[in-house]
Amino acid sequence: MTVIGWIQILLFCAIILAITPVLGAYMTRVFSGQRTFLSPILRPVELTLYWAGGVEEKSEQGWLRYTVGMLLFHVGGFVILYALLRLQGVLPFNPAGQSAVAPDLSFNTAISFITNTNWQNYGGETTMSYLVQMLALTQQNFLSAATGIVLAMVLIRGFARASARTIGNFWVDVTRCTLYVLLPVCVPLALFLVWQGMPQTLGPYIDATTLEGVKQTIAVGPVASQVAIKMLGTNGGGFFNTNAAHPFENPTALSNFLQIIAIFAIGAALTNVFGRMVGNQRQGWVLLAAMGVLFIAGILVTYWAEANGTNTLNALGLTGGNMEGKEVRFGIVASALFAVITTAASCGAVNAMHDSLTALGGMIPLINMQLGEVIVGGVGAGLYGMLLFVIITVFVAGLMVGRTPEYIGKKIEAKEVKMAMLAILVLPLMYLGWTAVAAVNPQALPQLGNAGPHGFSEMLYLYTSSTANNGSAFGGITANTLFFNITGAVAMFIGRFWVIIPAMAIAGTLAAKKSVPPSLGTFPTTGSLFVGLLVGVILIVGGLTFFPALALGPLVEQFAMTAGAVF
Amino acid sequence: METSKLRKRMPVNTLLDPSVVIPAIGQAFVKLNPRTLAKNPVMFVLEMVTLLTTVLLVRDLMTTGQAILFEFQIVVWLWFTVLFANFAEAVAEGRGKAQADALRKTRTETRAKRILSPDNYELYEGVSAEDLETGDLVVCTAGDIIPGDGDVIEGIASVNEAAITGESAPVIRESGGDRSAVTGGTTVISDRIIVRITSSPGSSFLDRMIKLVEGAERQKTPNEIALNILLVGLTIIFVFATATIPSYAAYAGGAVSVVVLVALFVTLIPTTIGALLSAIGIAGMDRLVRFNVLATSGRAVEAAGDVDTLLLDKTGTVTFGNRQATEIIVVPGVGEREAAEAALLASDADETAEGRSIIAMVQEKYDVRRQAASANARFIEFSAMTRLSGVDIGDRKLRKGAVDSVLNFAREQAGQDVAEPPAFRAAVDKIARSGGTPLGLVQNGRLLGVIHLKDVVKPDVKERFAALRRMGIKTVMITGDNPVTAAAIASEAGVDDFIAQATPEDKLRYIRSEQSHGRLIAMAGDGTNDAPALAQADVGVTMQSGTQAAREAGNMVDLDSNPTKLIEIVEIGKQLLMTRGALTTFSIANDVAKYFAIIPAMFVAFYPQLQVLNIMHLSTPQSAILSAIIFNALIIIALIPLALKGVKYRPIGAAALLRRNLLIYGIGGIILPFVGIKAIDLAVTGLHLA
């Protein structure tokens, strides 16, 4: 661990803290339907879109209609995506001549991109045409991100509104989110990345002859436009197989730093939007603080574990930390930071091989995802996931002040608890259940890259990443098989929508409730006490469930490794 | 808060009272019936997995002749866990039953005299009280037990309500007005009344009360339902966590026995709070009954904990019922002692509360002795016409009364227009401004001074209202006084707000407006005109002395008819919620240590490296698992007293309360099982049990 390393980590935190209130203020204006500095340019486009889609801008929906609209939107997205993948071979913009994608892989990929997971059982440059990359994948990168953000907005409105029957208009929210939030950040970001050396072209792959005289095909394509939204929208699906470790997908240290900031930017800002909309910014900062505590703890462990390497490596004279699977351009701290950030948020882009992290170093990404990705989290998903935990926390501990638990003036009653539990309990079912199925499935086991506990971790990571809609992998596993494609897709689908629908139901009932003014007897939710409490509940309710699985995977691997045994 | 001042009617059973504990042990076995347990999902699941392990144990006994002492002990302790949970509930119910039996004894076979025709109250027939229908008219004369709840429609009688209230002093019940309600089971001790029955058989007040304290009609409250959902959710999560383990173990080339899996599952699911949840609810109602308050539903008790605003009648709650004299302000030229003697004489025969308070004040403050009335004294009684009272002793005419009347009297006596001394007017104004009532004092044509009659605020209310404010509860005083008087009393008593010259509509409007802002309102009332407001309030406490209409409208009845008790009711509600929250937190926090006990024990056979996780250094895997199970069972027994007594509420503000309870039940809940399991492990190892 080095001073430079710590400076990078602190600088990252400082920049995120600085962006949060600025972007938060801007997004609050956007979602309150107020004018912004971009309105002169974007308002006509927005109105044209409403006119074309027959959307009544002023008519709001109840939570159920909103949710149904959202689901229909995803059905459409799935159909388009699946069709494009299957028809790729006969469609234009395919200079590399990619053929149709297999049905099970198409299914997995389509689910993966509509759920903001971007799990990739393929290598981008060897599987996808430019058309598919742009029209299918990049397009869903925008829309799945926008969906996540607007769903968080709905839950925020649930807390902010009182005695209301409507919670917004899905079509208006998605349009405004894409036009006013995602595009205006992505365009300059993509240009910046191009300046840093990232390709943005529709031209064919380049053939080069190496010094040894070997012919090599160098893949290029419309990379920058996809990478910008892949980071900002916490999608994480790489243009190239090696994702952000590829020199064209992450050319410089600066592009690396900018990408990790893009991952956290919107998720962190949403906590501020929450605070502003419920009328007390402290409420937002408290959520960010709880996220921050868990984030810093994760960074400490992973950075420490990677910087110290392993006994086996040290015995071979390979001191200076674990560099296996890392880009030398980025080194230990940038790789550790990236790994923790990408799994804290629901991004899943990687600039190092997670499978090659040390046992403990790799356990943190697993835990980050298993906690439900509430540490900043996926755009929108992180906030609504966190708010579900807040509901549980307030309910358990709130009783201890002798009142029916309340949060932001809303009483937390049976309906909210039921929905929050429904959303939370599906996560362990998916992570643990599918891992259990795979662990005794003779067809699945040969696909593992390692034996013993590490092989177990690979499966656990796969289903954890899928359910949490992350998309990163312990890449040793060969997951492009019928079994993993289908079960992974189920995990991604359930992990996304089984959480969203209860969260929307909560938004609906909260919006309809009266708001109780706070008094001295009200459970306080703006202090450090609440931060500690929330972190405790997340770790005990959200985390302890995974203790047996973690004991059999990374923990036993770590203890064995300390003793000099490898698997 | 001083709660001990309140009279407690019911004997408080000690926790170890054999008359409760011994039947509860039996009940614990009766409650093993799965149909009974199904009401409590966590306990039902616990019983099912316990049954499963029992079956497996029997199978193992038959097939293998091996030493299966370990499995046997686990199964035994699992059964103990279920039994302890049942026992907790049975003890809570048993304490209620003891009270119900005491009530039942007072209810004897009652005969009613039912009037045959509403035109003629003299003709009646004898029927059993059981046969009375709503609307029947019955006659009750001295010595009769009133056969059912009802309203007096004719007559006046004194009634002994000791059976219900425990108070043996008789009360007056008369037709019309606010004292028309009678309760079945009480005894008429004088005169004769005609009662219209308002309750159908089996649902009288006494019946309801018996059912209530027995817990027979207990329904889950909204909060309890929500908590149950949480507990079920957690249980399901732990099903996933444990049911997936065999597959993981198989992958690692090991195996985990079902008994061990069940042990892990049982220790993880929230058995502690699951076991004590219904006991907490029953004990909460029980505490209310001990304070002589009956709630018609547990929902009302819970709502009491949430109350934001208390509506209190001024009279009897904030102030003593009657105005009291506090001083005499004399007109210049009149000696204080002279005025005091005049006041004493003028009040000598005055039997009103005000008159008596003047005598008491004069004697105490001015040290004037009361003397036997002289023979030629002629007392003038107060009348609404003259608004004066006093005495004529020979030519000396002493009067006290309303200021205008006193001035008129002085003018009449003097036969000319008497100049009102400026000091007199100043004193009158000063008293009026302070919210008091000025009473003029005059001797013949000469004004002597002004007696200050004051609504005296009860001595401890200010502190109580301050405590309520620290709880986050606003107090609002309702009074018929004018705004000036009301404001003065409000500021003296320290209430947050007041409604002056309050009409029933005003009260209702106030409640509705508060509720529209999301606040919960509690109020106490007794009269029929309070009924709409009582019904609208979230917690409406009716005085036992009140009318039937008011009693129907409210959701609690205070048998002592003491409106101040609202404060205790709020505390009991809060205590109930806090106890649930504290034990839930404790139960969940316990899981940390249990994981660290069982996980290494479970996997160490095939991954010896995991011994590192055995941070408690438990001696063997078997003793680790057994110790966790034993701790899990014993903690239920250990917490029964807390569940029954409740977590103490302190009005120190929510933030401080949360910090305190989190420290005790959250942090304590994490640490205690580490210590407990280790201690049990030492014992288990020492006894060579595993």
Give the closest of B238, B517, B612 to A517, CB-based: B517
Residues of B in contact with A437 (CB under 8 A): 247
Nearest CA of chain A to the CA of B519: how many Å?
A: 6
* B148, containing H or E segment: none
Binary contact (A545, B582; C-beta < 8 A):
no
Q: Please tell me the predicted confidence (pLDDT) of residue B464.
A: 83
Q: Please tell me the predicted confidence (pLDDT) of residue A124.
A: 87
Q: Please tell me the predicted confidence (pLDDT) of residue B6.
A: 37
Q: Please tell me the predicted confidence (pLDDT) of residue B2.
A: 35
Residues of B in contact with A425 (CB under 8 A): 233, 236-237, 240
**Using an 8 Å Cβ cutoff, are A520 and B653 in contact?**
yes
Binary contact (A522, B240; C-beta < 8 A):
no
Give the closest of B222, B308, B581 to A399, CB-based: B581
* B35, containing H or E segment: helix B34-37
Q: Which residue of A has its CA nearest to B595?
A: A547
- Tokens standing for residue B305: 């904990």
For residues A463 and A107, what is the distance between their CA atoms, to the nearest angstrom? Answer: 16
What pTM did the predictor assign? 0.86
Q: Strand B446-457: give its sheet, edge to edge.
A: B319-330, B446-457, B437-443, B396-401, B388-393, B377-380
Binary contact (B237, A560; C-beta < 8 A):
no
For residues B429 and B431, what is the distance between their CA atoms, to the nearest angstrom? Answer: 5
Binary contact (A399, B580; C-beta < 8 A):
yes
Residues of chain B short of pLDDT 50, as ranges, are: 1-11
Q: Which residue of A has its CA nearest to B574?
A: A402
Q: Which residue of A has its CA nearest to B516?
A: A514
Give the closest of B251, B574, B591 to A440, CB-based: B251
- Alpha carbon of residue B615 to chain centroid: 46
Q: Which residue of B has its CA nearest to A426?
A: B237
Nearest CA of chain A to the CA of B267: how many Å?
A: 13
- Tokens standing for residue A362: 């790799």
Binary contact (A529, B658; C-beta < 8 A):
yes
Residues of B in contact with A433 (CB under 8 A): 240, 244
- Tokens standing for residue A333: 């701290």
For residues A534 and A393, what is the distance between their CA atoms, to the nearest angstrom? Answer: 6
Q: Are strands B309-313 and B474-478 parallel, antiparallel or unpaired?
A: parallel
Work out the widest C-alpha separation in chain A, in whole angstroms.
78
Q: Are strands B120-128 and B111-117 parallel, antiparallel or unpaired?
A: antiparallel
Nearest CA of chain B to the CA of A115: how many Å?
A: 24
Q: Which residue of A has its CA nearest to B237?
A: A425
Alpha carbon distances (Å) from B254 to A461, A546, B248, B606: 21, 19, 9, 6
The DSSP symbol for B631 reads H
Binary contact (A548, B582; C-beta < 8 A):
no
Give the closest of B240, B517, B610 to A559, CB-based: B610
**B313 included as an active-site residue:** yes
Q: Which residue of B has its CA nearest to A391?
A: B230
Give the closest of B518, B595, B602 to A516, CB-based: B518
Binary contact (B662, A400; C-beta < 8 A):
yes
CB-defined contacts A:B, below 8 A: 215
- The three-state DSSP-derived secondary structure of B104-117 is HHHCCCCEEEEEEE
Nearest CA of chain A to the CA of B430: how many Å?
A: 37
**How many other C-beta atoms lie within 10 A of the C-beta of residue A567?**
15
Which pLDDT tens digits describe chain A residue by residue (567 residues)?
Answer: 889 999 999 999 999 999 999 999 999 999 998 999 999 999 999 999 999 999 999 999 999 999 999 999 999 999 999 999 999 999 999 988 899 999 999 999 999 999 999 999 998 888 999 999 999 899 999 999 999 999 999 999 999 999 999 999 999 999 999 999 999 999 999 999 999 999 999 989 999 898 888 888 899 999 999 999 999 999 998 899 889 999 999 999 999 999 999 999 999 999 999 999 999 999 999 999 999 999 999 999 999 999 988 888 888 888 888 888 898 899 999 999 999 999 999 999 999 999 999 999 999 999 999 998 999 999 999 999 999 999 999 998 888 988 888 899 899 999 999 999 999 999 999 999 999 999 999 988 888 988 889 999 999 999 999 999 999 999 888 889 999 999 999 999 999 999 999 999 999 999 999 888 888 778 888 889 999 999 999 998 888 889 999 999 999 999 988 887 776
Q: Which residue of A has its CA nearest to B241?
A: A545
Residues of B in contact with A424 (CB under 8 A): 233, 237
- Tokens standing for residue A363: 């356990």
**Using an 8 Å Cβ cutoff, are A388 and A503 in contact?**
yes
Q: Please tell me the predicted confidence (pLDDT) of residue A549.
A: 94
Residues of B in contact with A396 (CB under 8 A): 230, 581, 584-585, 588
Binary contact (B244, A520; C-beta < 8 A):
no
Give the closest of A395, A445, A520 to B471, CB-based: A520
User: Inter-axis angle of helices B69-106 and B41-63, to 10 degrees?
Assistant: 140
The DSSP symbol for A404 reads -
**Using an 8 Å Cβ cutoff, are B161 and B544 in contact?**
yes
* Annotated catalytic residue within B313, B350, B530, B538: B313
Q: Please tell me the predicted confidence (pLDDT) of residue B192.
A: 86
Beta strand segments in B444-599, E: 446-457, 474-478, 497-499, 521-525, 539-543, 556-558
Task: Report the amino acid identity of residue B48.
Answer: M
Give the closest of B588, B600, B649 to A402, CB-based: B649
Binary contact (B226, A429; C-beta < 8 A):
no
Give the closest of B518, B588, B649 to A396, CB-based: B588
Nearest CA of chain B to the CA of A543: how many Å?
A: 10
Nearest CA of chain B to the CA of A220: how many Å?
A: 42
Binary contact (B610, A555; C-beta < 8 A):
yes
Q: Which residue of B has its CA nearest to A454?
A: B252
**Which candidate in B220, B251, B571 is best for mutational testing of the A interface (most A CBs within 10 A)?**
B251
Binary contact (B230, A397; C-beta < 8 A):
no
- Residue in the block written with tokens 């890392």: A326
Q: Please tell me the predicted confidence (pLDDT) of residue B5.
A: 35
The total number of residues written for chain B in this structure: 690
What are the phi and psi torsion angles at B689 (to 5°)? Answer: -85, -25
Nearest CA of chain A to the CA of B308: how many Å?
A: 8
Nearest CA of chain B to the CA of A194: how many Å?
A: 47
Binary contact (B248, A403; C-beta < 8 A):
no
Nearest CA of chain B to the CA of A227: how many Å?
A: 37
b/e burial code for range A458-469 (CB count within 10 A of at least 16 → b): bbbbbbbbbbbb
The total number of residues written for chain A in this structure: 567
Binary contact (A429, B240; C-beta < 8 A):
yes
b/e burial code for range B413-426 (CB count within 10 A of at least 16 → b): beeeebeebebbee
The DSSP symbol for A233 reads T
Binary contact (A413, B591; C-beta < 8 A):
no
Binary contact (A516, B654; C-beta < 8 A):
no
Q: Which residue of A has its CA nearest to B273?
A: A396
- Tokens standing for residue B224: 């309890």
**A92-97: long-range contacts, CB 8 A cutoff, minimum separation 24:** A92/A131, A93/A129, A93/A130, A93/A131, A93/A134, A93/A202, A94/A129, A94/A130, A94/A131, A95/A129, A95/A130, A95/A202, A95/A203, A95/A204, A95/A205, A96/A125, A96/A129, A96/A204, A96/A205, A96/A219
Give the closest of B232, B236, B581 to A400, CB-based: B581
Binary contact (A400, B658; C-beta < 8 A):
yes
